[in-house]
Structure 1
Amino acid sequence: MSSATRHRPWDVHRLPSAEGRTFLVTGGNAGIGYFTAEQLAATGAHVVLGCRDRAKADAATASIRSRVPEARVSHLRLDLADLTSLKASVSGLDRLDAVVHNAGVALDDPPRRESSDGHELMFATNHLGHFALTQWLAPLLKAAPAGRVVTVGSFAARSERLDLDDLQSTRDYRPKRTYGRSKLAQMSFGFELDRRLRALDSTVLSVVAHPGGALDSLTPSRPPVRVTTPGERLRALPAALLVQGKEAGAWPVVRAVLDPEVQGGDLWGPRVFGLRGTPRREPVPAHMADADVAARLWAASGELTGTDPYLGFR
């Protein structure tokens, strides 16, 4: 790669080719995951949509192909809330250059709900499922020329702190706080994975990204996945001064996957106050970079998921 190419300013509308590469996007059928998949498909890569519902995956595939006619898109049935299913789910993959840990669930109201494994549902889906999935993908990522794990966090995690004695909100369940903490757990995992990969001299990078403030009402329509009405967009215009739609929210995630200048341990988010705009590298907040908290979270997550302490990377 020439010096001019390597240092060309990043253009969210002119992405580099990724032909011959394979990317798995969990939750790639909707929201940030859908737009991440659509943008990656335009690079010539094979994009795998990891989600439970075949009909929703088919709808997302049809939408992507309507905009990228030659898109290489496939579906992998993946239920992150069912830990026992993950190994078998990914057994059919024969190549993987990057995984985007994006899928998530956000509950707005009590009561507290649990996964089939007995874990609080948001913590189980958003964090534990991705933690365990990483182990089963590790052999493929290690075999890739430049494997990456891109963990998608949330701006909401900035105002939260983990309660290591109540990771699953059994004592005091408040949905918005529990969601924010589950996304903080994801981000802490991404930074801790970077530290552990560096200690192993691994070629795999662990990168964290977040979409900033991304609203459905500011998001372009993608039928049959979702239709944004003119009325919704009009009512949301004042908010566009501070936040953006989910198409733009995917930009930091896509850059974390593709940009050769990205380094392990980076945090990527929108340029304007971390809420909107083109992607940039951000300073990592101190509570997300706390290695002691992350190590304790890692140990607890390993016990809850029954995974190898090195997640298969040693």
Structure 2
Amino acid sequence: MPSAAQTQPWDVHRLPSAQDRNVLVTGGNAGIGYFVAEQLAGAGATVVLGSRDTAKAETAMASIRSRVPGARVRSLRLDLADLSSLKAAVAALPLDRLDAVVHNAGVMFDHPPRRESQDGHELMFATNHLGHFALTWWLAPLLAAAPAARIVTTGSFAAKSERLDLDDLQSTRDYRPKRAYGRSKLAQMLFGLELDRRLRAAGGTALSVVTHPGGALDSLTPSRPPVHIRTTAARLRGLPAGLLVQGKEAAAWPAVRAVLDPSVTGGQLWAPRVFGLRGLPRVEPLWDHLADTTVAARLWDASRELTGVDPSSGLA
């Protein structure tokens, strides 16, 4: 029998009110994160754009305000690759509670050499996974102050074909950038699911949900100058790909629904409807390797050792 989440009507263009909600979107200054922020601001939320680049965040906020009259947007300087900076970054948030955080920011490298953060961690694993793992810990008091906070972790379709090497989480052997990226996103998704299990076991009120955006191309993404400019030629070149994938505005829909839909429950995976690549957001069955609780628990222990924090303990 279909669940309520699958049968309840959902219109991506007529979102429920998010008035009085505070949401942090990491990487909200560009790409999919920008559109997550724009759509949530359009629903009335106060949206904080987490970004390493203050100037780019200011540009993104100006773009959102130009499209959403009265938008409540602000920025937070946030460098997920620098674990020691996260405590001070969160302390700068002028909020008394946080109703949701969208763990969206990420980096992807296409070519060697292997790069490391200043903490000595492989840079994609550090930014995409460890930074969000630790950030959740520092955000815990603000999330716990909300009646039913949501932690939304953005994974990737690239993680579907990858498996973690628990003995080499940071790709010190046989570094292949695309594989390392896919594994870092898989680690993120496993984290989001394991976090929800731990919250449920501890009787926590926050929910942890995982999403992935499907296939998202710049050529199919509407212009938001100067944040993103799509030329007519690029739009025409991208039209054939639109049969299989989508632009970044549509790719934001799963995360937005995970934040706003009252029927969403913890531990779910939200993704585009058509082959997981494009279309309206829906609940997708967990991939087999995402349901591996042993791997998730071992990853959690390794992440706790690498970061020195345990996110679930602050939210229970």
TM-score between the two structures when normalised by the length of structure 1? 0.97
Structure 2: runs of 5+ lacking an equivalent: 1-6
Instruction: Say if 2:136 and 2:311, in contact at 8 Å, map to a contact too.
Output: no
AA aligned opposite 1:283: P
Instruction: Say if 2:96 and 2:145, in contact at 8 Å, map to a contact too.
Output: no
For residues 69 and 131 of structure 1, the distance between their equivalents in structure 2, rounded to whole angstroms, comes to 34
For residues 311 and 34 of structure 1, the distance between their equivalents in structure 2, rounded to whole angstroms, comes to 30
| Post-superposition CA distance 1:60-105 (Å, at most 9, x none) | 0011011102100000110000000001101134220000000000
| Post-superposition CA distance 1:97-154 (Å, at most 9, x none) | 0000000000111000000111000000000000000001111111101100000000
For residues 241 and 310 of structure 2, the distance between their equivalents in structure 1, rounded to whole angstroms, comes to 45
Shift in CA distance, 230/84, structure 1 to aligned 2, threshold 3 Å = same
For residues 313 and 287 of structure 2, the distance between their equivalents in structure 1, rounded to whole angstroms, comes to 25
- Among 255, 275, 281, the alignment partner of 1:273 is 275
Counterpart of 2:203 in 1: which secondary structure?
coil
Q: CA deviation at 1:8?
A: 5.1
Counting aligned pairs with the same residue, the percent is: 78
In the alignment, is residue 310 of structure 1 matched against residue 312 of structure 2? yes
Between Structure 1 and Structure 2, how many residues are aligned? 310
| Post-superposition CA distance 1:205-242 (Å, at most 9, x none) | 00001100011110000011010111111111111000
Instruction: Say if 1:134 and 1:311, in contact at 8 Å, map to a contact too.
Output: no
Counterpart of 1:106 in 2: which secondary structure?
coil
Counterpart of 2:119 in 1: which secondary structure?
coil
2:89 alignment counterpart: 89
In the alignment, is residue 217 of structure 1 matched against residue 219 of structure 2? yes
For residues 38 and 82 of structure 2, the distance between their equivalents in structure 1, rounded to whole angstroms, comes to 26
Instruction: Say if 2:211 and 2:271, in contact at 8 Å, map to a contact too.
Output: yes
TM-score between the two structures when normalised by the length of structure 2? 0.96
Q: CA deviation at 1:308?
A: 3.1
For residues 299 and 90 of structure 1, the distance between their equivalents in structure 2, rounded to whole angstroms, comes to 24
Q: CA deviation at 1:310?
A: 3.4
1:194 alignment counterpart: 196
For residues 219 and 171 of structure 2, the distance between their equivalents in structure 1, rounded to whole angstroms, comes to 31
2:187 alignment counterpart: 185
For residues 15 and 234 of structure 1, the distance between their equivalents in structure 2, rounded to whole angstroms, comes to 30
Give the alignment of 1:130-141 within 5 angstroms: 130-141=132-143
Structure 1: runs of 5+ lacking an equivalent: 1-6
For residues 301 and 249 of structure 1, the distance between their equivalents in structure 2, rounded to whole angstroms, comes to 28
